[in-house]
Amino acid sequence: MRGWARQVVETPCGPILEEAPPRLLSDHATRFMLDHLRVRPGDRAAEPGCGSGVLSLYLERAGATLVAGTDLDPEVLVAARHNAHLNACTRVRFVRGALLEAVAGPLDLIVALLPHKPGPRPFSSRFYGGPDGTDLLLPLVAQARSRLVPGGRLWLYLNSIADIGRVLGALEPDFAVSLRAEKRRYYQQAEMDALCPGLCDYWQSLQARGLIELGRDAAGHYFLARIYEASRR
């Protein structure tokens, strides 16, 4: 497609070819999830906030029998459907809708890499997650509670710039939660302030209130990128 970029995403189940407008291409966070996610054969799976579809396509490759990817952005869905065709994935469907509202039936697996950067005001719908980063994560937890079968799993990508305590608190009554992976995600302050002027100052104010976790070492500023697996009791 005109103006689109192409990349090959290496996964444990072989390469996935991805084409999309450059701003929609999957990134390090998607690859981090791909490196750790465990799929069981026969899973009925969903990915709210599917973007260009790489994680959803991987779910099919890894053995899920049904996969539903959802997104609110119509341009994203064009790219995701294109990528399903490109990779000959026939068990994935991409639908427009908020979180899991457009997905029917019980689920065994939900994989979510949703916007959760907190900010003083809304910015990119790809990244903004509300004043403390939990605007989408808390409704997702509520949906996962009602949609996952007992033993079903929610795999959640969660950076320490969001109020993780609120998310884990919402999961705690109904899910057994395990931290599956963690790494330092280094960033330039200019990179974040380009998303929303004043973003880093805002994060410092959240850190001062003990709501989020930022760090700094010899390599620079960082936050912690984490992957949690929450199993429905």
Ligand X SMILES: C[S@@+](CC[C@H](N)C(=O)[O-])C[C@H]1O[C@@H](n2cnc3c(N)ncnc32)[C@H](O)[C@@H]1O
Confirm or reject binding of residue 98 to ligand X (CB under 6 A).
Answer: yes
Rounded Cα gap, residues 36 and 34, in angstroms: 6
DSSP 4-41: -EEEEEP-TT--EEEEE-GGGS--HHHHHHHHH----T
The nearer residue to ligand X, 121 or 233, going by C-beta atoms, is 121
* Local structure of 212: helix, strand or coil: coil
Rounded Cα gap, residues 5 and 48, in angstroms: 23
Binding mask 53-92 for ligand X (x = CB under 6 A): -xx--------------xxxx--x----------------
Confirm or reject binding of residue 100 to ligand X (CB under 6 A).
Answer: no
Q: With CB under 6 A as the contact rule, which of the stretches 37-45, 49-57, 183-191, 212-220 interacts with ligand X?
A: 49-57
The nearer residue to ligand X, 92 or 99, going by C-beta atoms, is 99
Binding mask 127-156 for ligand X (x = CB under 6 A): ---------x--------------------
Least distance in Å: CB of 90 to ligand X? 20
Nearest to 159 by CA among 98, 97, 221: 221
The nearer residue to ligand X, 51 or 152, going by C-beta atoms, is 51
Exposure b/e, 102-113, CB count within 10 A at least 16 = b: ebeeebbbbbbb
Q: Which residues contact 93 (CB under 8 A, 6 or more apart)?
A: 67, 68, 69
Least distance in Å: CB of 34 to ligand X? 9
Among 113, 148, 161, 212, binds ligand X (CB under 6 A): 113
Helix (H) or strand (E) holding 71: strand 66-71
The nearer residue to ligand X, 72 or 176, going by C-beta atoms, is 72
The nearer residue to ligand X, 147 or 176, going by C-beta atoms, is 147
